Amino acid sequence: MDNNEKRIQFSPALRIATLSVLTAATAFFTFAVRIPIAPTRGYLNLGDVIIYFAAFTFGPFTALFAGGLGTALADIISGYSQWAPISLVVHGLQGLAAGFVAGSAASTAVSRLRLRWLGAACAGTLVMCAGYLGGGALMVGFGAALVELPGNILQNLAGVLGAIPLTLAIRRAYPPALEMHW
Amino acid sequence: MPEPLLSVQNLSFQYPSYPNLPSEPLFEELNLDIRHRERCLILGRPESGKTTLARLLTGLVPRYSGGACSGKILLDGRAAAERQPCERIEEIGLAFQNPEEQLVRSRCDSEVAFGLEALNLPRSSMLERVGKSLSQAGLSAYSRRSPGTLSGGEKKKLLLACLMALKPAVWVMDETLEELDIGTKKEVLELLRAQEQTCLVFSSKWHRLFADAFTSCCLLTGGRMLCYQGRTGGPAFRSWLRKHEFLTPRRRTSAPQGKRSRPDGDPLLRVRGLIFHYPGADGFYLNVDELCFSAGETIALIGANGSGKSTLAKLLCGLLTAGSGEISIRRNGGWKAANPELLNRFCGYMFQNPDYQIFLPEVREELAYGLKQTMERGGDIEGRVEEAIRLFRLPGPQAPPSLMSYGARKRLQAAVYYLLERPFLILDEGDSGISAADFADIVEKLSAPRRTLLIITHDLELAALLADRIYTLRDGGIVPVESAAGAARLEALVEGAD
Amino acid sequence: MVSGFFRSGNSALHRIDPRAKLFVLLAFLVVFFLPLPLPRLIACFCAAALLGGLCLGLRDLLLPLRLIFPLLLLVMILTPPFHRQGVVLLAPWGFPLYTSAGLETALRLVLRFSGISLVFFLYMRSTEPEQILLSLRWFGLSYSLALVLSLALTYIPWLTRLYGNVRDAHNLRLAGVEQEIRSLGFIKRTRAKIPAMTSVMIQAVKGIPVLAMALETRGIGRKNVRSSFYELKSGRAFLTDLLASSLLIAGLALMVVLFP
């Protein structure tokens, strides 16, 4: 045991732990924390904040699983389990896309990071909206699915608006998080 | 002389440093030998490194924490670092200090079986071991229940059941005996003795039951391990502990400055006829007839777990609303009934967990947050923040709060409320996890002539030391603790908790 | 909070093996996506409702339907404009908007969506989460992912408690500071949630290495095969359940083909 500064080992246990916690966080913020956006329109949920946060901090694969599994769990818990398979695929791909575009956050200047993150958010929004449009059309027809589109776009906007300050805050407040990038 | 089963040789360890938060070495050339069937008690003050040492022994640190480590840990002659911790679960087992961190399954029986599955045991022998362990731990009735529904003490017993089922050669128990009532402590100690189980039991408090229960006793202090030679429990032992500052003389940390021995006297907050029904809890309810707090005094509230202390505290600061009764604040010579919003502004509630409100990346940002709005124009925020950093001995204005030690985070929490200047402060179990002296220090710094403190604690001695008045909650009602007989009964009550 | 989630009981649906149930679920899904004549679709929906009503009770059945009712309304209103063939039923200002073909498509979609919602609900309501995970593993889901899901399920209540406390702590600290949240747009409202979310996520992220440590103490990461404490039915019991579900599927298929 003669070594100096060691980094955290990315063992199977750590991988599982990372995915579990972020999946739980995604699920929780999706079904439990809602923001009313207008008296008639309904609610936004904050799950996308966590998906983008996971993509920016922990990388594409974590965001893939956390996003997909987390939103699917949220759907099941709140009684909409019929949407779970679609959420699984759509939000999983959203996380994956955002994570790939965002790249590694470890040693880059914050200004360049912000740009990359906005790009990642665009990619994620595209995937998510297209996914729900397609999947929604299958389930409830094109008309009803189209109506959800503006809401989905707003949701992604809220997601990235929340994820950027959250990611920056955790970068500074808890640097070890950056070592768990996958 | 037979080879020791567990041997720690010249162990030095230091957590990683971060910008604005340099780390100090935690252990320096620490040595420890544990022989077969040896039951070793390791005492140490809070934050002396007990949990870190327990994790080092099982290989979890520095694997999951980073940090610089040197020296050797040998288990049965083999270096621990050669293999991963998951491969060694039959050689050394660990019960975490905080059971919630280690209980991961949805049922007690599957929790106990979880480690056994890793050993690829056939199902029949798993069932047998699980059944036996749960009944030895007295938890058979809970086998299909979720661990989340167990009380604190029962959770600790569940962790022990996991160890009993896994049967590792060495057991490492991180403050497992804390929070167990006397009867359970005796059972566990007896179990360890009967099985001649090689174990290391860490504890931050000495209990008279430990006197003949262990084959050896060590003190972890100043980064080293000091072993006591001789019989524990006697006066020589106690003075040895005092010499190494484990047992601190229970004296007031400073001369009373008039504010404690003679509180201001002006009434501040009054409770009348407060009744609060717990949702769906078999008719148990909180019923406080009359309670009055004066400015400048310090009051302690003692009681067993579940007696309603935190509930009363939350009612006082407006986080909960009572079914009936009123809480009034003294204003302009008269009493004004306070709604929850007013109570929110009037009272400060320091949660037991100091991390609930930490979210900013620097100490000075945390301290200044909220000050900007509440201070008058031209107020010297910088100056007040610096004063608070100095007074509460915080690591520095730019130190990252989330990475500071537990004690430092608790002081940060106190500093935040010091700056907010609320007239009524509630400290909920503020003494848990830090030494009594540190807590007394915090209480002293928060005391002020026109501020009232309500301290909720398990520690009767500490309460007697710090408070002007002591109350206890019994059957939902509040009862003052006046006499020594009352205090003795109280001690039994608190010890019997869980 | 947990409305569509598992509730324990003793009905036939509860006792049948989850893998057998999954086959039935898949069969219903296929049926609802087939281009069947409307009466047959209605019959299949009623079959599902009957199954559910007999096993879980009629009141439980209303739950999923109540949840999706607004969406069904939207479907009825918004689908016809996209399918404007057939007999014109409604033509405001001379522009044909609602036609018979449109109405039929809308009805079809309503039945499809309600049917799917119903069978998913029946499955989730009558199967323990651990059993679902075990059956998914039997079908090929990796142990690690199943573990992630079951750990996430135990973490969610912890997060709920944490968020409640964090919100209380933040509100108390800021009490007295003017915050006109109600009138602000959703941007400001999202922003206002960030401090509490940050506290929660810091705690969650700090908990990751600790959870990893707990998993290591239980042997996660070992190279050897793991045995399993829970198990699904096997042998004759499983075959009986498979037989029962095959019969159900056969009945469904018959209805699809033969119903007038």
Nearest-Cα distance to chain A for C235, in Å, is: 31
Q: Is C257 on the interface with B (CB under 8 A)?
A: no
pLDDT-derived band of residue C4, with 50, 70 and 90 as boundaries? low
C232-244: average pLDDT: 89
**What pLDDT, on the 0 to 100 scale, is given for residue A129?**
94
Contact between A165 and C144 using a beta-carbon 8 Å cutoff:
no
Q: Is B360 on the interface with A (CB under 8 A)?
A: yes
**What pLDDT, on the 0 to 100 scale, is given for residue B357?**
87
A11-24: average pLDDT: 95
| High-pLDDT (> 90) share of chain C, % | 48
Of B146, B68, B43, which is closest to residue B100 (Cα–Cα)?
Answer: B146
| High-pLDDT (> 70) share of chain A, % | 90
Q: Are residues B239 and B280 in the same domain?
A: no
Is residue B169 predicted with pLDDT exceeding 90? yes
Q: Are residues B229 and B118 in the same domain?
A: yes
How do residues B81-116 score in pLDDT, each as one tens digit? 889 999 999 999 999 999 999 999 999 999 999 999
**What pLDDT, on the 0 to 100 scale, is given for residue B245?**
85
Contact between B86 and C221 using a beta-carbon 8 Å cutoff:
yes
How do residues B22-72 score in pLDDT, each as one tens digit? 999 999 999 999 999 999 999 999 889 999 999 999 999 999 998 999 999
CB A38 within 8 A of CB C164: no
Nearest-Cα distance to chain A for B132, in Å, is: 28
Closest residue in chain A to residue C204, using alpha carbons only: A21
Count: domains in chain B: 2
Which residues 198-257 on chain C approach chain A with CB closer than 8 angstroms? Answer: 198, 200-202, 204-209, 211-213, 215-216, 220-221
Sheet holding B224-228: strands in order across?
Answer: B92-95, B170-174, B198-203, B39-43, B216-221, B224-228
Q: Are residues B274 and B393 in the same domain?
A: yes
Which residues face B472 on adjacent strands? Answer: B302, B479
**What pLDDT, on the 0 to 100 scale, is given for residue B489?**
62
B114, B119, B144, B422: best to mutate for the C interface, most C CBs within 10 A: B114
Nearest-Cα distance to chain B for C130, in Å, is: 9
Q: How far apart are CA B432 and CA B461, in angstroms?
A: 14
| CATH number of the structural domain spanning residue B484 | 3.40.50.300
Find out whether the peptide bond into B122 is cis, omega within 30 degrees of 0: no
C91-110: average pLDDT: 82
Q: Is C2 on the interface with A (CB under 8 A)?
A: yes
Is residue B236 predicted with pLDDT exceeding 70? yes
Nearest-Cα distance to chain B for A117, in Å, is: 21
**What pLDDT, on the 0 to 100 scale, is given for residue B256?**
36
**What pLDDT, on the 0 to 100 scale, is given for residue A142?**
86
How do residues C155-188 score in pLDDT, each as one tens digit? 999 999 999 999 999 988 887 665 555 555 777 7
Contact between B114 and C218 using a beta-carbon 8 Å cutoff:
yes
Contacts of C112 in chain A (CB under 8 A): 139
Contact between A13 and B402 using a beta-carbon 8 Å cutoff:
no
Nearest-Cα distance to chain C for A75, in Å, is: 9
Of B320, B324, B322, B318, which is closest to residue B343 (Cα–Cα)?
Answer: B318
Q: How far apart are CA B346 and CA B342, in angstroms?
A: 6
Contact between A20 and C159 using a beta-carbon 8 Å cutoff:
no
How do residues B260-313 score in pLDDT, each as one tens digit? 444 557 888 888 888 888 777 676 788 888 888 988 899 999 887 777 888 899
Contact between B344 and C171 using a beta-carbon 8 Å cutoff:
yes
Contact between C231 and B104 using a beta-carbon 8 Å cutoff:
no
Q: Per the domain annotation, does B154 fall within a domain?
A: yes
**What pLDDT, on the 0 to 100 scale, is given for residue B255?**
36
Q: Are residues B236 and B293 in the same domain?
A: no
Q: Is C129 on the interface with B (CB under 8 A)?
A: yes
**What pLDDT, on the 0 to 100 scale, is given for residue B497?**
41
Around Cβ B375, how many Cβ atoms within 10 Å? Answer: 15
Convert B468-477 to b/e letters by CB count within 10 Å (16 or more is b). bbbbbbeebe
Q: Are residues B223 and B361 in the same domain?
A: no
Contact between A6 and B68 using a beta-carbon 8 Å cutoff:
yes
**What pLDDT, on the 0 to 100 scale, is given for residue B490?**
60
Q: Which two tokens stand for residue B439?
A: 């807590």
Size of interface B-C (CB pairs under 8 A): 147
Contacts of B356 in chain C (CB under 8 A): 162, 165-166, 168-170, 199
Is residue A175 predicted with pLDDT exceeding 70? yes
Q: Are residues B417 and B374 in the same domain?
A: yes
pLDDT-derived band of residue A151, with 50, 70 and 90 as boundaries? confident
Candidate from B210-214, B485-489, C116-120 with smallest mean pLDDT: B485-489
Closest residue in chain B to residue C195, using alpha carbons only: B359
Q: Per the domain annotation, does B250 fall within a domain?
A: no
Distances B139 to B10, B145, B166 between C-alpha atoms, Å: 41, 10, 17
pLDDT-derived band of residue B458, with 50, 70 and 90 as boundaries? confident
Nearest-Cα distance to chain C for B321, in Å, is: 14
Q: How many helices (H) and strands (E) does chain A have?
A: 5, 3
Is residue B189 predicted with pLDDT exceeding 60? yes
Which partners does chain A have (≥3 C-beta pairs < 8 Å)? B, C
Q: Phi and psi (nearest 5°) for B449?
A: -55, -35
Contact between A3 and B66 using a beta-carbon 8 Å cutoff:
no
**What pLDDT, on the 0 to 100 scale, is given for residue B171?**
96
Q: Which fold has domain A12-177?
A: Arp2/3 complex 21 kDa subunit ARPC3 (1.10.1760)
Contact between B69 and A3 using a beta-carbon 8 Å cutoff:
yes
Contact between A173 and B402 using a beta-carbon 8 Å cutoff:
yes
Contacts of C124 in chain A (CB under 8 A): 76, 81
Contact between B70 and A3 using a beta-carbon 8 Å cutoff:
yes
Full DSSP string of B182-251: HHHHHHHHHHHHHTT-EEEEEESS--GGGTTT-SEEEEEETTEEEEEPS-SSSHHHHHHHHHTTSS----
Contacts of C154 in chain B (CB under 8 A): 104-106, 148
**What pLDDT, on the 0 to 100 scale, is given for residue B26?**
93
pLDDT-derived band of residue C3, with 50, 70 and 90 as boundaries? low
Question: Which 8-state DSSP code applies to residue B3?
Answer: P
Is residue C84 predicted with pLDDT exceeding 60? yes
Helix B381-391 with B406-420: angle, nearest 10 deg: 140
Is residue B248 predicted with pLDDT exceeding 90? no
Is residue B495 predicted with pLDDT exceeding 60? no
**What pLDDT, on the 0 to 100 scale, is given for residue B259?**
37
Q: Are residues B305 and B237 in the same domain?
A: no
Q: Are residues B303 and B162 in the same domain?
A: no
**What pLDDT, on the 0 to 100 scale, is given for residue A39?**
45
How do residues B341-361 score in pLDDT, each as one tens digit? 889 889 999 999 999 988 999
Is residue A38 predicted with pLDDT exceeding 60? no
So where are chain C's domains?
12-127+238-258
How do residues A92-126 score in pLDDT, each as one tens digit? 999 999 999 988 766 667 788 888 899 999 999 99
**What pLDDT, on the 0 to 100 scale, is given for residue C59?**
84
Q: Which two tokens stand for residue C2?
A: 């947990």
Q: Is C148 on the interface with A (CB under 8 A)?
A: yes
Contact between C202 and B402 using a beta-carbon 8 Å cutoff:
yes
Nearest to C219 among B65, B115, B319 (CB): B115
More confident residue, B335 or B174: B174
**What pLDDT, on the 0 to 100 scale, is given for residue A4?**
45
Contacts of C211 in chain A (CB under 8 A): 17, 20-21
Of C31, C53, C55, which is closest to residue C44 (Cα–Cα)?
Answer: C31
Nearest-Cα distance to chain A for C164, in Å, is: 11
Q: Is C74 on the interface with B (CB under 8 A)?
A: no
pLDDT-derived band of residue B376, with 50, 70 and 90 as boundaries? low
- ipTM for the whole complex: 0.91
**What pLDDT, on the 0 to 100 scale, is given for residue B486?**
58
Contacts of B341 in chain C (CB under 8 A): 175
Contacts of C171 in chain B (CB under 8 A): 344
Q: Per the domain annotation, does B254 fall within a domain?
A: no
Contacts of B84 in chain A (CB under 8 A): 11
Q: Is C169 on the interface with B (CB under 8 A)?
A: yes
Domain region containing B185: 6-243
pLDDT-derived band of residue B498, with 50, 70 and 90 as boundaries? very low
**What pLDDT, on the 0 to 100 scale, is given for residue C18?**
92
**What pLDDT, on the 0 to 100 scale, is given for residue C1?**
40
Is residue A35 predicted with pLDDT exceeding 80? no
